[in-house]
Amino acid sequence: MSDPVLTLSGIEKTFNPGTPGEIRVLRGANVTLARGEVVALVAPSGSGKSTLLHIAGLLDGADAGNVQINGQDMGAQNDRTRTEIRREQVGFVYQFHHLLPEFSALENIVLPQLAAGVPDRTARAHALELMERVKVADRASHRPAELSGGEQQRVAFCRALANRPALLLADEPTGNLDPGTSDTVFEALMELVRDTGLSALIATHNMDLAARMDRILHLDNGLIT
């Protein structure tokens, strides 16, 4: 059996430790994500979902515990290696698209590939392929401000997958959209994830969306249940 794509073991995180404002958001959380698995992470706002995703994606450090990506212990890696792993193996999608406003939709998907050393022509072809899969290829030359909210988020999905990561981390990826658009955009994300065969951990408070994934994890009082 192959190694899980993501393993979080005993993750702890406290903000403002030792002060009257101390908040212990993670108390030993454990998560294992198998290859090709799409898992929902469900919890109320402010419960630590984003913190857990940031630790899983190497954007933040834990106070205690261990993170493994593709069987590699992240605690044993230096900063440069961790940065390379984050860039090459992890994709992020947030509630707000965070697209670069001065670039076109296509260019927003091309740029991370260029940063990873992919030739321009190859990067553009792959970006267009991703855009076609989520039905926004006809908006390739438009800047983010010229796109609808659903189109912006679809482009953000493509950007997150541009460098062919093994792991996708999504934080309320449809939380900023109306219910009808949210459903359509979520289906586009699921189709893209399934087609590429990657693993995904998707934080959401929408139980209807969570029920469409392979498993549901609940974050409750700092622990995964």
Question: What is the arithmetic mean of pLDDT over 130-138?
Answer: 89
Question: What is the arithmetic mean of pLDDT over 6-12?
Answer: 93
Give pLDDT, residue 121: 95
CA distance 186 to 163: 21
Q: Are 29 and 219 in contact (CB under 8 A)?
A: yes
Give the pTM: 0.88
Give pLDDT, residue 83: 86
pLDDT digits (tens, 9 = 90+) for 183-220: 887 887 788 788 878 899 999 888 888 898 999 999 88
pLDDT digits (tens, 9 = 90+) for 27-40: 889 999 998 899 99
Give pLDDT, residue 2: 61
Which residues, 6+ apart, have CB-to-CB distance to 184 below 8 Å? 150
Q: Are 55 and 222 in contact (CB under 8 A)?
A: no
Give pLDDT, residue 47: 79
Asked if residue 133 has pLDDT above 90, the reply is no
- Which of residues 47 and 131 earns the better pLDDT score? 131
Q: What is the DSSP string of 167-189?
A: EEEEESTTTTS-HHHHHHHHHHH
Give pLDDT, residue 98: 84
Averaged pLDDT score across all residues of the chain: 88
- Which of residues 104 and 50 earns the better pLDDT score? 104
Give pLDDT, residue 109: 95
% of residues, the chain, pLDDT over 90: 41
Q: Which helix (H) or strand (E) holds 89?
A: helix 79-89
Asked if residue 93 has pLDDT above 70, the reply is yes
Which band of pLDDT confidence, cut at 50, 70 and 90, is reported for residue 1?
Answer: very low
Identify the DSSP state of 93.
E
